[in-house]
Amino acid sequence: MSKKETIPVERRIFDLEQTLEISKSFSSVLEFSPLIESILYICMGQMKVLGAGVFIAKDLDSKTLVLDDTYTGLDTDASICYKIEFNHPLVKLLQTTAAPLTIKELVKKLGSTVDISPLTSLNPSLIVPLIAQNKLNGVLVLGERIDLGNGTKYSKYEKDHINTISALAAISIRNSVLLEMSTTDMMTKLKLKHYFFSILDTKIGNAIEVGVPISIAMFDIDHFKIFNDTYGHACGDVVLIRVAEIIKEGVRSKDMACRYGGEEFVTMLYNCDGKKALKVAERIRKTIENEEIEYKGNSLHVTISGGVATLNPDSKAISAEAFTDIADQALYYSKEHGRNQVNHSNKDIVFEPSIDDEDDDDDEVED
Protein backbone atom coordinates (compact mmCIF):
# COMPACT_ATOMS: atom_id res chain seq x y z
CA MET A 1 0.00 0.00 0.00
CA SER A 2 1.42 3.40 -0.96
CA LYS A 3 2.03 5.98 1.68
CA LYS A 4 -0.75 8.54 1.93
CA GLU A 5 0.29 12.03 0.90
CA THR A 6 0.22 14.53 3.75
CA ILE A 7 -0.08 18.21 2.89
CA PRO A 8 0.29 20.84 5.65
CA VAL A 9 -2.87 22.85 6.34
CA GLU A 10 -0.94 26.08 5.83
CA ARG A 11 0.00 25.09 2.28
CA ARG A 12 -3.57 24.07 1.46
CA ILE A 13 -4.83 27.45 2.66
CA PHE A 14 -2.10 29.27 0.72
CA ASP A 15 -2.91 27.34 -2.47
CA LEU A 16 -6.63 28.05 -2.08
CA GLU A 17 -5.86 31.75 -1.75
CA GLN A 18 -3.61 31.50 -4.82
CA THR A 19 -6.37 29.75 -6.77
CA LEU A 20 -8.81 32.53 -5.91
CA GLU A 21 -6.36 35.18 -7.14
CA ILE A 22 -5.70 33.16 -10.29
CA SER A 23 -9.42 32.95 -10.96
CA LYS A 24 -9.70 36.74 -10.62
CA SER A 25 -6.71 37.18 -12.93
CA PHE A 26 -8.17 34.95 -15.65
CA SER A 27 -11.58 36.62 -15.37
CA SER A 28 -10.07 40.08 -15.86
CA VAL A 29 -8.54 39.19 -19.24
CA LEU A 30 -10.96 38.71 -22.12
CA GLU A 31 -8.74 39.18 -25.17
CA PHE A 32 -7.47 35.85 -26.45
CA SER A 33 -3.69 36.33 -26.83
CA PRO A 34 -3.14 38.14 -23.51
CA LEU A 35 -5.25 35.46 -21.79
CA ILE A 36 -3.13 32.62 -23.18
CA GLU A 37 0.06 34.39 -22.09
CA SER A 38 -1.39 34.88 -18.61
CA ILE A 39 -2.32 31.19 -18.37
CA LEU A 40 1.17 30.06 -19.39
CA TYR A 41 3.08 32.26 -16.98
CA ILE A 42 0.78 31.48 -14.05
CA CYS A 43 1.07 27.74 -14.65
CA MET A 44 4.86 28.01 -14.99
CA GLY A 45 5.05 29.81 -11.66
CA GLN A 46 2.71 27.45 -9.87
CA MET A 47 4.39 24.26 -11.09
CA LYS A 48 7.97 25.61 -11.09
CA VAL A 49 8.70 24.74 -14.73
CA LEU A 50 11.04 26.45 -17.18
CA GLY A 51 8.65 26.46 -20.12
CA ALA A 52 5.05 26.04 -21.19
CA GLY A 53 2.85 26.10 -24.24
CA VAL A 54 -0.73 25.41 -25.20
CA PHE A 55 -2.34 23.68 -28.17
CA ILE A 56 -5.49 25.62 -28.98
CA ALA A 57 -8.04 26.01 -31.78
CA LYS A 58 -6.84 28.96 -33.89
CA ASP A 59 -10.18 29.67 -35.54
CA LEU A 60 -13.70 29.60 -34.19
CA ASP A 61 -14.68 26.73 -36.49
CA SER A 62 -11.33 24.92 -36.40
CA LYS A 63 -11.13 21.15 -36.03
CA THR A 64 -7.44 21.28 -35.16
CA LEU A 65 -5.48 22.19 -32.05
CA VAL A 66 -2.35 24.18 -32.93
CA LEU A 67 0.59 25.09 -30.71
CA ASP A 68 0.03 28.79 -29.99
CA ASP A 69 3.02 30.99 -30.76
CA THR A 70 2.96 32.36 -27.20
CA TYR A 71 4.83 29.25 -26.01
CA THR A 72 7.98 29.92 -24.01
CA GLY A 73 10.95 27.81 -22.89
CA LEU A 74 10.09 24.91 -25.22
CA ASP A 75 12.39 23.71 -28.00
CA THR A 76 10.47 23.01 -31.20
CA ASP A 77 11.57 20.87 -34.14
CA ALA A 78 11.18 22.46 -37.60
CA SER A 79 10.47 19.03 -39.11
CA ILE A 80 7.39 18.49 -36.93
CA CYS A 81 3.94 19.97 -37.54
CA TYR A 82 2.64 21.05 -34.15
CA LYS A 83 -1.01 20.25 -34.75
CA ILE A 84 -3.43 17.80 -33.17
CA GLU A 85 -6.62 16.89 -35.03
CA PHE A 86 -9.78 16.66 -32.93
CA ASN A 87 -10.32 13.10 -34.21
CA HIS A 88 -6.90 12.02 -32.89
CA PRO A 89 -7.08 9.31 -30.17
CA LEU A 90 -5.13 11.65 -27.88
CA VAL A 91 -8.02 14.09 -27.76
CA LYS A 92 -10.52 11.40 -26.79
CA LEU A 93 -8.17 10.08 -24.12
CA LEU A 94 -7.52 13.49 -22.55
CA GLN A 95 -11.21 14.33 -22.59
CA THR A 96 -12.10 11.00 -20.99
CA THR A 97 -9.43 11.03 -18.28
CA ALA A 98 -9.77 14.77 -17.61
CA ALA A 99 -6.56 14.64 -15.62
CA PRO A 100 -2.88 15.59 -16.05
CA LEU A 101 -0.66 12.86 -17.50
CA THR A 102 3.04 12.41 -18.12
CA ILE A 103 4.30 11.37 -21.56
CA LYS A 104 5.05 7.92 -20.16
CA GLU A 105 1.45 7.58 -18.95
CA LEU A 106 0.12 8.81 -22.31
CA VAL A 107 2.16 6.29 -24.29
CA LYS A 108 1.07 3.49 -21.97
CA LYS A 109 -2.62 4.35 -22.42
CA LEU A 110 -2.48 5.06 -26.17
CA GLY A 111 0.05 2.46 -27.21
CA SER A 112 3.44 3.01 -28.79
CA THR A 113 2.04 2.93 -32.34
CA VAL A 114 0.02 6.14 -31.91
CA ASP A 115 1.96 9.18 -33.11
CA ILE A 116 2.10 11.94 -30.49
CA SER A 117 5.34 13.52 -31.74
CA PRO A 118 3.90 17.06 -31.49
CA LEU A 119 3.96 16.46 -27.71
CA THR A 120 6.95 14.14 -27.21
CA SER A 121 9.27 16.42 -29.21
CA LEU A 122 8.67 19.21 -26.69
CA ASN A 123 10.04 17.02 -23.87
CA PRO A 124 7.20 17.95 -21.50
CA SER A 125 7.12 17.09 -17.83
CA LEU A 126 3.30 17.05 -17.81
CA ILE A 127 0.36 17.22 -20.23
CA VAL A 128 -2.77 18.91 -18.88
CA PRO A 129 -6.15 18.86 -20.66
CA LEU A 130 -8.16 22.09 -20.74
CA ILE A 131 -11.80 21.08 -20.45
CA ALA A 132 -14.88 23.31 -20.23
CA GLN A 133 -18.46 22.04 -20.33
CA ASN A 134 -17.21 18.49 -20.88
CA LYS A 135 -15.34 19.49 -24.05
CA LEU A 136 -11.60 19.67 -24.61
CA ASN A 137 -10.68 23.13 -25.88
CA GLY A 138 -6.93 22.99 -25.40
CA VAL A 139 -3.90 21.03 -24.22
CA LEU A 140 -1.45 22.62 -21.79
CA VAL A 141 2.16 21.46 -22.08
CA LEU A 142 4.49 22.01 -19.11
CA GLY A 143 8.21 21.95 -19.81
CA GLU A 144 11.24 20.96 -17.74
CA ARG A 145 10.63 21.15 -14.01
CA ILE A 146 12.94 22.88 -11.55
CA ASP A 147 14.24 20.66 -8.76
CA LEU A 148 13.89 22.58 -5.51
CA GLY A 149 15.10 19.68 -3.39
CA ASN A 150 12.07 17.41 -3.59
CA GLY A 151 12.74 15.97 -7.04
CA THR A 152 10.87 16.76 -10.27
CA LYS A 153 8.09 14.19 -10.01
CA TYR A 154 4.59 15.61 -9.61
CA SER A 155 2.71 14.56 -6.50
CA LYS A 156 -1.01 13.76 -6.61
CA TYR A 157 -1.67 17.00 -4.76
CA GLU A 158 0.28 19.00 -7.34
CA LYS A 159 -1.54 17.28 -10.20
CA ASP A 160 -4.87 18.08 -8.55
CA HIS A 161 -3.76 21.69 -8.08
CA ILE A 162 -2.76 22.21 -11.73
CA ASN A 163 -5.96 20.45 -12.79
CA THR A 164 -7.98 23.00 -10.83
CA ILE A 165 -6.06 25.85 -12.45
CA SER A 166 -6.53 24.28 -15.89
CA ALA A 167 -10.29 24.07 -15.31
CA LEU A 168 -10.37 27.80 -14.57
CA ALA A 169 -8.19 28.42 -17.64
CA ALA A 170 -10.48 26.34 -19.86
CA ILE A 171 -13.56 28.31 -18.75
CA SER A 172 -11.75 31.59 -19.42
CA ILE A 173 -10.67 30.38 -22.86
CA ARG A 174 -14.25 29.40 -23.67
CA ASN A 175 -15.50 32.81 -22.54
CA SER A 176 -12.83 34.45 -24.66
CA VAL A 177 -13.91 32.41 -27.69
CA LEU A 178 -17.55 33.37 -27.10
CA LEU A 179 -16.49 37.02 -26.91
CA GLU A 180 -14.53 36.52 -30.12
CA MET A 181 -17.61 35.11 -31.82
CA SER A 182 -19.84 37.99 -30.69
CA THR A 183 -17.35 40.71 -31.64
CA THR A 184 -15.92 39.32 -34.89
CA ASP A 185 -17.21 39.61 -38.45
CA MET A 186 -17.40 35.97 -39.44
CA MET A 187 -16.53 36.52 -43.10
CA THR A 188 -13.47 38.78 -42.79
CA LYS A 189 -12.47 37.67 -39.25
CA LEU A 190 -12.03 41.35 -38.31
CA LYS A 191 -13.62 43.01 -35.29
CA LEU A 192 -17.12 44.46 -35.49
CA LYS A 193 -17.80 48.19 -35.27
CA HIS A 194 -19.44 48.22 -31.83
CA TYR A 195 -16.55 46.35 -30.23
CA PHE A 196 -14.00 48.53 -32.02
CA PHE A 197 -15.61 51.68 -30.63
CA SER A 198 -15.66 50.18 -27.12
CA ILE A 199 -11.93 49.39 -27.20
CA LEU A 200 -11.04 52.65 -28.96
CA ASP A 201 -12.78 54.71 -26.28
CA THR A 202 -10.67 52.99 -23.62
CA LYS A 203 -7.45 53.31 -25.62
CA ILE A 204 -8.01 57.04 -26.23
CA GLY A 205 -8.25 57.61 -22.48
CA ASN A 206 -5.19 55.44 -21.84
CA ALA A 207 -3.11 57.17 -24.50
CA ILE A 208 -3.80 60.65 -23.19
CA GLU A 209 -3.26 59.55 -19.59
CA VAL A 210 0.19 58.04 -20.25
CA GLY A 211 1.16 60.65 -22.84
CA VAL A 212 1.42 58.70 -26.10
CA PRO A 213 -0.18 59.34 -29.52
CA ILE A 214 -2.95 57.20 -30.96
CA SER A 215 -4.00 57.05 -34.61
CA ILE A 216 -6.69 55.43 -36.70
CA ALA A 217 -6.74 54.71 -40.41
CA MET A 218 -9.93 54.21 -42.42
CA PHE A 219 -10.05 52.46 -45.79
CA ASP A 220 -12.67 52.07 -48.48
CA ILE A 221 -12.41 49.73 -51.50
CA ASP A 222 -12.55 51.81 -54.69
CA HIS A 223 -15.41 51.03 -57.09
CA PHE A 224 -16.36 47.94 -55.10
CA LYS A 225 -19.80 47.78 -56.74
CA ILE A 226 -18.17 46.91 -60.06
CA PHE A 227 -16.95 43.56 -58.70
CA ASN A 228 -20.43 42.64 -57.50
CA ASP A 229 -22.13 43.79 -60.71
CA THR A 230 -19.61 42.15 -63.05
CA TYR A 231 -18.83 38.86 -61.32
CA GLY A 232 -21.51 38.52 -58.63
CA HIS A 233 -21.61 38.92 -54.87
CA ALA A 234 -19.47 35.81 -54.30
CA CYS A 235 -16.65 37.65 -56.05
CA GLY A 236 -17.25 40.67 -53.84
CA ASP A 237 -16.87 38.43 -50.82
CA VAL A 238 -13.53 37.12 -52.09
CA VAL A 239 -12.30 40.69 -52.54
CA LEU A 240 -13.46 41.69 -49.05
CA ILE A 241 -11.77 38.69 -47.44
CA ARG A 242 -8.42 39.25 -49.15
CA VAL A 243 -8.41 43.01 -48.49
CA ALA A 244 -9.24 42.31 -44.84
CA GLU A 245 -6.35 39.83 -44.62
CA ILE A 246 -3.89 42.38 -46.03
CA ILE A 247 -5.10 45.08 -43.64
CA LYS A 248 -4.78 42.75 -40.64
CA GLU A 249 -1.32 41.60 -41.76
CA GLY A 250 -0.31 45.25 -42.16
CA VAL A 251 -0.76 46.23 -38.51
CA ARG A 252 0.86 45.03 -35.29
CA SER A 253 -0.70 42.36 -33.13
CA LYS A 254 -1.36 44.96 -30.41
CA ASP A 255 -3.35 47.10 -32.88
CA MET A 256 -6.89 46.34 -34.00
CA ALA A 257 -8.47 45.99 -37.44
CA CYS A 258 -12.22 46.30 -37.88
CA ARG A 259 -14.77 45.86 -40.63
CA TYR A 260 -16.56 49.18 -40.28
CA GLY A 261 -19.38 48.29 -42.63
CA GLY A 262 -19.84 47.16 -46.24
CA GLU A 263 -16.50 47.68 -47.99
CA GLU A 264 -15.12 50.03 -45.31
CA PHE A 265 -12.44 49.13 -42.77
CA VAL A 266 -10.75 50.93 -39.89
CA THR A 267 -7.61 50.21 -37.87
CA MET A 268 -6.50 51.48 -34.46
CA LEU A 269 -2.78 52.20 -34.12
CA TYR A 270 -1.85 52.67 -30.47
CA ASN A 271 1.28 54.65 -29.57
CA CYS A 272 1.70 55.61 -33.20
CA ASP A 273 2.06 59.24 -34.33
CA GLY A 274 0.61 60.74 -37.48
CA LYS A 275 3.67 60.32 -39.65
CA LYS A 276 4.10 56.65 -38.80
CA ALA A 277 0.36 55.97 -39.07
CA LEU A 278 0.32 57.48 -42.56
CA LYS A 279 3.27 55.28 -43.48
CA VAL A 280 1.42 52.17 -42.25
CA ALA A 281 -1.71 53.14 -44.18
CA GLU A 282 0.27 53.85 -47.36
CA ARG A 283 2.04 50.50 -47.07
CA ILE A 284 -1.33 48.74 -46.83
CA ARG A 285 -2.66 50.72 -49.82
CA LYS A 286 0.38 49.84 -51.91
CA THR A 287 0.22 46.14 -50.98
CA ILE A 288 -3.41 45.95 -52.08
CA GLU A 289 -2.67 47.85 -55.30
CA ASN A 290 0.04 45.31 -56.17
CA GLU A 291 -2.08 42.29 -55.23
CA GLU A 292 -3.73 40.13 -57.88
CA ILE A 293 -6.89 38.51 -56.54
CA GLU A 294 -7.90 35.40 -58.45
CA TYR A 295 -11.59 34.62 -58.96
CA LYS A 296 -12.74 31.87 -61.31
CA GLY A 297 -9.86 32.39 -63.70
CA ASN A 298 -10.08 36.17 -63.55
CA SER A 299 -7.25 38.27 -62.14
CA LEU A 300 -8.75 41.18 -60.25
CA HIS A 301 -6.91 44.40 -59.49
CA VAL A 302 -8.18 46.25 -56.43
CA THR A 303 -7.34 49.66 -55.02
CA ILE A 304 -8.35 51.38 -51.81
CA SER A 305 -8.57 54.94 -50.54
CA GLY A 306 -7.62 55.84 -46.99
CA GLY A 307 -7.86 58.52 -44.37
CA VAL A 308 -5.76 58.87 -41.20
CA ALA A 309 -6.38 60.81 -37.98
CA THR A 310 -4.17 61.21 -34.90
CA LEU A 311 -4.63 62.31 -31.31
CA ASN A 312 -1.39 63.58 -29.78
CA PRO A 313 -0.57 63.44 -26.05
CA ASP A 314 -1.62 67.09 -25.64
CA SER A 315 -4.97 66.55 -27.40
CA LYS A 316 -8.27 66.67 -25.57
CA ALA A 317 -10.08 63.37 -25.20
CA ILE A 318 -12.89 62.86 -27.69
CA SER A 319 -15.26 59.97 -28.30
CA ALA A 320 -14.35 57.07 -30.54
CA GLU A 321 -17.11 58.11 -32.94
CA ALA A 322 -15.81 61.68 -33.19
CA PHE A 323 -12.25 60.45 -33.70
CA THR A 324 -13.38 58.09 -36.45
CA ASP A 325 -15.34 60.89 -38.15
CA ILE A 326 -12.10 62.87 -38.50
CA ALA A 327 -10.45 59.93 -40.28
CA ASP A 328 -13.59 59.49 -42.38
CA GLN A 329 -13.31 63.08 -43.59
CA ALA A 330 -9.70 62.43 -44.62
CA LEU A 331 -10.90 59.30 -46.43
CA TYR A 332 -13.56 61.36 -48.24
CA TYR A 333 -10.83 63.78 -49.32
CA SER A 334 -8.82 60.88 -50.80
CA LYS A 335 -11.82 59.63 -52.77
CA GLU A 336 -12.71 63.10 -54.01
CA HIS A 337 -9.15 63.70 -55.22
CA GLY A 338 -8.67 60.65 -57.41
CA ARG A 339 -8.96 57.57 -55.13
CA ASN A 340 -6.18 55.00 -54.62
CA GLN A 341 -4.42 57.30 -52.18
CA VAL A 342 -4.13 57.94 -48.45
CA ASN A 343 -4.29 61.34 -46.73
CA HIS A 344 -3.96 62.52 -43.14
CA SER A 345 -6.55 64.84 -41.61
CA ASN A 346 -3.64 67.14 -40.79
CA LYS A 347 -2.57 68.33 -44.23
CA ASP A 348 0.91 69.14 -42.88
CA ILE A 349 1.51 65.40 -42.49
CA VAL A 350 2.32 63.85 -45.85
CA PHE A 351 3.79 60.55 -46.90
CA GLU A 352 7.49 60.76 -47.78
CA PRO A 353 8.53 58.12 -50.35
CA SER A 354 12.16 58.71 -49.42
CA ILE A 355 11.56 57.00 -46.06
CA ASP A 356 12.63 53.36 -46.30
CA ASP A 357 9.42 51.34 -46.34
CA GLU A 358 11.34 48.28 -45.22
CA ASP A 359 12.12 49.98 -41.90
CA ASP A 360 10.35 48.20 -39.06
CA ASP A 361 10.03 51.21 -36.76
CA ASP A 362 6.28 50.60 -36.55
CA ASP A 363 6.90 47.27 -34.87
CA GLU A 364 9.32 48.72 -32.33
CA VAL A 365 6.99 51.26 -30.75
CA GLU A 366 6.35 50.40 -27.12
CA ASP A 367 2.90 49.93 -25.63
- As annotated, the active-site residues are 263
Single out the residue of 219, 315, 337, 210 nearest to residue 271, CA to CA.
210
CA dihedral 274, 277, 281, 283 (to 10 degrees): 120
**Cβ proximity of 236 and 228 under 8 Å:** yes
Distance CA 99, CA 31 (A): 26
Residue type, 352: E
Taken in order 25, 31, 37, 40, the sign of the CA dihedral is positive
Query: How do 214-221 and 264-270 pair as beta strands?
Result: antiparallel
CA 336 centroid distance within chain: 36
d(CA 42, CA 44): 5
Cβ-contact 305, 341 below 8 angstroms: yes
Tell how strand 64-67 and strand 52-57 pair up. antiparallel
HEC letters along 108-153: HHHCCCCCCHHHHCCCCCEEEEEEECCEEEEEEEECCECCCCCCCC
How do the residues of the chain divide into helix, strand and coil, expressed in percent and rounded to 5? 45, 20, 35
Residues 304 and 281: their CA atoms lie apart, in Å, by: 10
